[in-house]
């Protein structure tokens, strides 16, 4: 199946741009790398599937990119990206040295520095991940884990 092209993260994009992108036969999600320049910078996106999937890309401290679904693997609540260590400790009762994805429903916490490892809560696994491709000045979300 081909995917439509969706341009994300350009708040100043002309109003006509999304219509042109939506009209294209091939769909992909791409983000300017400049938006992910700093460690722990993040960009949220929506992966175009039959049931669109909210996702997030995070620049990890070691410079690599990590992309995951923001759907909790426990009971599908939407995950939050949290960077404040004190808030993470107070709200989710986990002591971490870096930002996490956290679930507001049953307080599962996923360690981004460990590729989504479950640190706390009932989630049976980390969030579904996305395969990325970096080329030129953009990162493209190629496919979702388990997708052909
Ligand atoms: S839905 Fe996320 S921990 Fe239950």
Residue 139: which CATH number?
2.102.10.10
| Ligand 1 nearest-atom number relative to CA 122 | 3
Our answer on whether the CB atom of 80 is closer than 6 Å to any ligand 1 atom is no
- pLDDT single digits (tens) 74-131: 999 999 999 999 999 999 999 999 999 999 999 999 999 999 999 999 999 999 999 9
What is the CA 102 to chain-centroid distance, rounded?
12
pLDDT tens figures, 37-60: 999 999 999 999 889 999 999 999
Mutate to test the pocket of ligand 1, among 105, 119, 127 (most ligand atoms within 8 A of CB): 105
Strands 80-82 and 42-47: unpaired
Bigger pLDDT: 9 or 114?
114
The answer to whether the CB of 106 is under 6 A from ligand 1 is yes
Distance CA 123, CA 108 (A): 6
Question: How many domains, in total, are found in the chain?
Answer: 1
- If one counts every other C-beta atom within 10 angstroms of the C-beta of residue 109, the result is 22
Q: CA 97, CA 80: separation in Å to the nearest integer? A: 17
Q: State which residues form the domain around 21.
A: 5-144
Q: Which pTM does this prediction carry? A: 0.81
Q: 91: which DSSP letter? A: H
Confidence band, pLDDT 50/70/90 cuts, at residue 11: very low
Answer yes or no: is the C-beta of 100 below 6 A from any ligand 1 atom.
no
């Amino acid at each position: 199946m081909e995917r439509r092209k969706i341009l994300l993260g350009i708040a100043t994009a002309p109003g006509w741009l999304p219509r042109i992108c939506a009209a294209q036969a091939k769909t992909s999600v791409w983000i300017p790398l400049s938006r992910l320049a700093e460690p722990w910078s993040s960009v949220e996106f929506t992966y175009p599937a039959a049931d669109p999937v909210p996702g997030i890309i995070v620049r990890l401290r070691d410079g690599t990119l990590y992309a995951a679904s923001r759907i909790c693997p426990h009971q599908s609540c939407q995950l939050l990206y949290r960077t404040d260590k004190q808030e993470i400790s107070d709200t989710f009762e986990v002591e971490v040295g870096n930002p996490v994805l956290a679930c507001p429903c049953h307080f599962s916490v996923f360690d981004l520095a460990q590729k989504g490892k479950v640190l706390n809560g009932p989630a049976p696994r980390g969030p579904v991940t996305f395969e990325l491709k970096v080329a030129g000045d953009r990162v493209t979300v190629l496919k979702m884990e388990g997708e052909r």
